Amino acid sequence: MNRASKTLAALGAAALLLGVSACGGGSTNAEAESPASASSDKKLTIAFVMGAVGDPFFKAMKVGAEEAAREENVNLEWQGSDTEYSPQTQIPFVDAVLAKKIDGLVLIPTDPDALQPSVAKAKSLNIPVITVDTTVNDRTDVSAFITGDNEDGGAKAADALAAAMKYADGKTYKVAVGSSSATTTTGIGRMKGFESQIAAKYPGIKIVDKAYSQSKPEVANTNVNNWLTKYPDLAGIFAIDGTNATGAASALQAKNLVGKVALIGYDAYKENVDLLKQGIFTAMIAQDPAQEAKLAIKAMVSQIKTGKTGIESEVVIPNVTMTQENLGETEKYTYVE
């Protein structure tokens, strides 16, 4: 601890000198004389390469990242594909920021294998890497991994569903799960958490069907329509992502089953929160992307300055269960548009 703070002080002093000489006439006396505050350090540049600029989940993340960047006085390079969440579109952005002079890379790998070489490349350039939300398979070169826990979210969804169906031991409850595809890692984690929580705590809940939407709301809608026909006594639905939520919500409305079939959604997109307010969603699992990003920036600054992130190698930001009752305190988790 002591050594760390000494190193920090030394670095700060060095940065101060550099800053003054680099800025020359441009920097005022007041700035130069201010104590080793963040504003007089050599300004660090941290690149944050995420999944898709347009997605409100990442917009919420950006709010947290910018806030932390202001507090820590670092340049934030927010980069990523406009709308497409895929390694093909992400890797060029990672290559581009690594070609510039950056001090640290915060990365949301869109694929655990495909982004592994990018992490190795950063390592070879002595640029520390912190992963957020998802990570790469081999974390040797990753300083820290900060995530919302999908398995925990799935387990919380099982709890919320059980509560919504007024679960009592000895009775049987048929539920179905709508997922987006067999290969989406977040969906797999949520499903795993959901299933193991049911196995552990709710023996009366039977998962009668699972179906994939292929990321299309109309396909999700077809799946739910057919479940409702096939299982007239269906008690609950876990819509694992936004697409499934849209499809399930419209199916329940069309068949006048709102309130009769419990619907648990995931991710606090604004339109989901609206559906929760209308009572179409019974409950919703929200992540806290702003918190993830904030912590990532702070840990990265610490890593660059001290060689230590100051946090565990893996930090899990807990999920929040939003319901109509607790909306007063949980509405702030709604992702910004």
Partner 1 sequence: MDQTALLFLVLVAMVVVFTVINPIFFSSAVFANILQDWGPIVLMATAQTLVIVSGGIDLSVGAALGLSGVVSALAMRELTASGQSAWSAMLLGVLVAGAVGLAVGLVNGVLINRVKLVPFIATLCTMGAALGLSLVLTGGTPVAGGPAGSIQFSSKTYLGMFTVPIIVVTVIVVAAGLYLHKTRFGRWTYAIGSNQFAARGAGINVESHLYKIYALSGLLSGLAGMFVYLRLGSGSASSGVGQELSAIAAAVIGGTSLLGGVGRLAGTVIGAFIITGVLSGLIIIGVQANWQRVVIAALIAVAVGAQGLSNESLRAK
Considering the rule CB under 8 A, would residue 55 count as an interface residue with partner 1?
Answer: yes
Shortest distance, CB of residue 206 to partner 1, whole angstroms? 13
Shortest distance, CB of residue 275 to partner 1, whole angstroms? 8
**Of the candidate residues 93, 212, 238, 333, the single one contacting partner 1 (CB under 8 A):** 212
- Which helix (H) or strand (E) element contains residue 169? none
**Of the candidate residues 5, 37, 214, 326, the single one contacting partner 1 (CB under 8 A):** 214
Distance CA 302, CA 44 (A): 11
With vertex at residue 270, the alpha carbon angle to CA 265 and CA 271, rounded to the nearest 5 degrees, is 65
Q: Which stretch in 13-21, 55-63, 233-241, 303-311 sits in contact with partner 1 by CB under 8 A?
A: 55-63
Distance CA 165, CA 81 (A): 41
8 Å CB contact between 69 and 297: yes
Distance CA 164, CA 257 (A): 14
# residues contacting partner 1 (CB under 8 A): 39
Considering the rule CB under 8 A, would residue 118 count as an interface residue with partner 1?
Answer: no
**Of the candidate residues 138, 218, 312, 329, the single one contacting partner 1 (CB under 8 A):** 218
Distance CA 244, CA 59 (A): 21
**Of the candidate residues 39, 229, 313, 326, the single one contacting partner 1 (CB under 8 A):** 229
Shortest distance, CB of residue 170 to partner 1, whole angstroms? 26
8 Å CB contact between 175 and 235: yes
Q: What are phi and psi of 306, to 5 degrees?
A: -120, -10
Shortest distance, CB of residue 285 to partner 1, whole angstroms? 17
Long-range contacts (CB closer than 8 Å, 24 or more residues apart) made by 273-281: 273/322, 273/327, 273/331, 273/334, 275/245, 275/249, 276/322, 276/323, 276/324, 276/327, 277/324, 277/327, 279/324, 280/249, 280/252, 280/253, 281/245, 281/249
DSSP 26: G
**What is the footprint of partner 1 within residues 76-95 (CB under 8 A)?**
82-83
Six-digit token string for 329: 């305190």
**Of the candidate residues 52, 142, 155, 311, the single one contacting partner 1 (CB under 8 A):** 52
Distance CA 326, CA 232 (A): 31
Q: Which stretch in 6-14, 32-40, 50-58, 192-200 sits in contact with partner 1 by CB under 8 A?
A: 50-58
**Of the candidate residues 238, 266, 269, 281, the single one contacting partner 1 (CB under 8 A):** 269
**Of the candidate residues 73, 89, 184, 222, the single one contacting partner 1 (CB under 8 A):** 222
Q: Which stretch in 69-77, 88-96, 116-124, 263-271 sits in contact with partner 1 by CB under 8 A?
A: 263-271
Sheet with 320-323: strands ordered across? 205-212, 173-179, 234-239, 262-266, 283-286, 320-323
Paired residues of 327 in beta bridges: none
**Of the candidate residues 215, 306, 323, 324, the single one contacting partner 1 (CB under 8 A):** 215
Shortest distance, CB of residue 79 to partner 1, whole angstroms? 17
**What is the footprint of partner 1 within residues 146-185 (CB under 8 A)?**
182
Considering the rule CB under 8 A, would residue 133 count as an interface residue with partner 1?
Answer: no
**Of the candidate residues 7, 210, 324, 327, the single one contacting partner 1 (CB under 8 A):** 210
With vertex at residue 83, the alpha carbon angle to CA 184 and CA 49, rounded to the nearest 5 degrees, is 80
Which residues of the chain form contacts with partner 1 (CB under 8 A)?
A: 52, 54-56, 59, 82-83, 182, 209-212, 214-218, 221-223, 225-227, 229-230, 242-243, 246-247, 249-250, 253-255, 269-271, 274, 337
